[in-house]
Amino acid sequence: MTAYLVYDVFTDTPFGGNQLAIFTDAEALPQDKLQAIAAEFNFSEVTFVYPPDDLRHTAKVRIFTPTLELPFAGHPIIGTAIALADIGFPPKMTLELGIGPVPCTVANGRAQFTTTAPLTRDAKPDTALVARALGLTVDDINTEHHTPVQAGLGVAFVITELSNRDALSRCQPDINAMRDGAARYPGSLDFAILAYVVEGDLIHARMFAPLENIPEDPATGSAAAALAALLCDLTGEIQDLTIHQGFQMGRPSVIHARADASGVTISGQAVRVMEGQFLGHN
């Protein structure tokens, strides 16, 4: 049997934020079953923790969605770091991920990590297609600052600014349009879209990846990092963002993202809600 923990991430309240299952000692698990285990949970992500390849680091972490392994994702890093600190790992740690080593710090139930992975722009998807994929009209998309852009830090999202909160609330993804987008603009995720609205000091966001078995994600740290990096690059100014996500789903999440020329820092809280045992049945 192998133990696992379940944390709600980017919240300090159980049943908020984004669920994460963490196998803090995954060495005994069959490697060919990791994807099946992640699919069994059907959370946005599951993490598997191993001894580091480089002994100067704290641990190696593999991240799986229900359908694929990711090199980088935000809420799994935050949740895994807090879980490891809770079971006795040092509060300052370096986690080995698919994008390389990522330094993390944990204090008082809050973690932060910084990534220096470069921002990549893979494509500029057709605005009308993006609108159709979100179940909106072209007029609902704000192109004043940027048109929809497929960009990310290791994992790419179609980052799309909307005209107002009403448009954000009306998003209803069209699977056929999503499939069309994935075919025309292939990426690490199948046409996952981060839709956002700027309202004063806050950013309200929703993230949809139905082709990855994630109809809507309550909190997406990697998308928040991509957005902060993109806005920093576009404006040439430091970005210090507070992002609200998951509120419409009933799983409110708060993500803090700071981007400057040296990299992107993501921070947030997490709370343990469950623990259990994987029995290893075939």
Nearest CA to 144 out of 160, 158, 128, 132 is that of 160
**Whether residue 144 lies in the annotated active site:** no
Catalytic option among 45, 161, 212, 216: 45
Residue located via tokens 């392994």: 69
Q: Residue 132's Cα: distance from chain center in Å?
A: 23
Catalytic residues: 45
